[in-house]
Each structure stands twice: as C-alpha cells, then as structure tokens.
C-alpha cells in the first residue's frame, strides 16, 4: 500500500462512510468532463453534517478525496492555506 493510500485509509477511519458518501453526492456538480467535487465545499459540508470541527482539514480532505475518486468524480483542490490572509 502506498503512503498516500495509507494516509487516506487512516483519514477514513475518522469519519463514517455514509457521511462521506452523502457529502460527495451532495457536492458533486456535473460538468461536460464529468462530475467534479470542490474540496473546500465538501469539507465544509462534512463538518456541518457530522458536527466534527476537531479533525484536521487534511484528514477530511483525504477521506473525501478517496470516496470521490471511487465514485468516479474528479477532485478540485480549491482551498489554499493562508488564502484568507491579506498581505
């Protein structure tokens, strides 16, 4: 198992699979190239659905990404650390 897959598996252990599936299905938008999931929206939705505001964004993103890819969705990593900080 690759290091990336091991991290994704560990992240999935923090969340219920049904919650991850519901969020991916709710956040996937249909595009000409297929279904796309924006991770910033998906992580926010997962937090609201589960009430989990303690897990790291990285863990949530890893878990959601694995489920999205298994569901045939493209993943858009649209959240940039520090993007809300004005210089």
- 7-38 pLDDT tens trace: 556 667 789 999 999 999 999 998 766 899 99
Rg (C-alpha) for the chain, rounded Å, is 13
- 55-79 pLDDT tens trace: 999 999 999 999 999 999 999 998 7
pLDDT at 74: 93
pLDDT at 49: 95
Decide if 21 contacts 50 (C-beta within 8 A).
no
């Amino acid at each position: 198992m690759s290091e990336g897959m091991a991290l994704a598996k560990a992240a999935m252990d923090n969340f219920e699979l049904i919650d991850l599936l519901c969020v991916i299905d709710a956040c996937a938008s249909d595009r000409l190239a297929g279904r796309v999931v924006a991770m910033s929206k998906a992580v926010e939705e997962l937090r609201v659905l589960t009430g989990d505001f303690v897990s790291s964004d990285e863990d949530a993103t890893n878990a959601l990404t694995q489920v999205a890819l298994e569901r045939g969705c493209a993943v858009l990593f649209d959240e940039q650390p520090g993007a809300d900080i004005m210089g």
